[in-house]
A and B are shown apart, each in its own frame.
Chain A
Amino acid sequence: MKNNLKFFGLLFLFLLLSSVPLLAQEAPFNADKASLYKLSIIVGGAIITFASAAGAYCQAKAISSACEGISRNPGSGPHIRFLLIFGLVLIETLVIYALLITFIILMVQWGKYA
Chain B
Amino acid sequence: MEELEHSLFLVDLFNKIFSRPLSSLLVLIGIEVKNPEHLIPDHVVMSLMVMIFLILFFGISSRKLQIIPSKFQSILELIIQGFENLLLEIIGEAGKKYLPLIGTIGLFIFFCNILGLIPGFMSPTSKLNVTLGCALVVFVYYHWQGIKSQGPLKYLKHFTGPIPLLAPLLLPIEIISHFARPLSLSLRLFGNIFAEEMLIVVIVSIIPFLVPLPFMVVAIFTATIQTFVFVLLSCIYIGGAIAHEEEH
Using CB atoms and an 8 Å cutoff, list the residues of chain A in contact with chain B.
14, 17-18, 20-21, 78, 82, 85-86, 89, 92-93, 96-97, 99-100, 103, 107, 110-111, 114
Does the CB pair B207–A96 fall under 8 Å? Answer: no
C-alpha spacing A114/B2, complex, angstroms: 12
> Can you name 18 extra interface pairs (CB under 8 A) apart from A21-B206, A96-B195?
A18-B207, A20-B206, A21-B205, A82-B89, A85-B229, A89-B188, A89-B232, A89-B233, A92-B188, A93-B187, A93-B188, A99-B191, A99-B195, A100-B190, A100-B191, A103-B194, A103-B195, A111-B1
C-alpha spacing A14/B184, complex, angstroms: 37
C-alpha spacing A82/B205, complex, angstroms: 39
* A92 partner residues in chain B, CB cutoff 8 A: 188
* A21 partner residues in chain B, CB cutoff 8 A: 205-206
Interface size, chain B (Cβ < 8 Å): 19
Partner of A96, one of B1, B188, B236: B188
Partner of A86, one of B3, B198, B207, B232: B232
Measured CB to CB, the closest approach of chain A to B185, in angstroms, equals 9
Measured CB to CB, the closest approach of chain A to B89, in angstroms, equals 7
A-B pairs under 8 A by CB, number:
42
Measured CB to CB, the closest approach of chain B to A77, in angstroms, equals 13
C-alpha spacing A99/B187, complex, angstroms: 11
* B184 partner residues in chain A, CB cutoff 8 A: 93
Partner of B236, one of A86, A99, A103: A86
Is B192 an interface residue when CB atoms closer than 8 A count as contact?
Answer: yes
C-alpha spacing A89/B185, complex, angstroms: 11
Measured CB to CB, the closest approach of chain B to A73, in angstroms, equals 19
Partner of B192, one of A20, A96, A103: A96
Measured CB to CB, the closest approach of chain B to A108, in angstroms, equals 9
* B190 partner residues in chain A, CB cutoff 8 A: 100
Measured CB to CB, the closest approach of chain B to A45, in angstroms, equals 14
* A114 partner residues in chain B, CB cutoff 8 A: 3
* B1 partner residues in chain A, CB cutoff 8 A: 107, 110-111
* A86 partner residues in chain B, CB cutoff 8 A: 232, 236
* A93 partner residues in chain B, CB cutoff 8 A: 184, 187-188
Does the CB pair B207–A97 fall under 8 Å? Answer: no
C-alpha spacing A65/B188, complex, angstroms: 25
* B89 partner residues in chain A, CB cutoff 8 A: 78, 82
C-alpha spacing A93/B183, complex, angstroms: 11
Q: Can you list 30 A-B contacts with CB-CB less than 8 angstroms, sorted by A residue number?
A: A17-B207, A18-B206, A18-B207, A21-B205, A21-B206, A78-B89, A82-B89, A85-B232, A86-B232, A86-B236, A89-B188, A89-B232, A89-B233, A92-B188, A96-B187, A96-B188, A96-B191, A96-B192, A96-B195, A97-B191, A99-B191, A99-B195, A100-B187, A100-B190, A100-B191, A103-B194, A103-B198, A107-B1, A110-B1, A111-B1
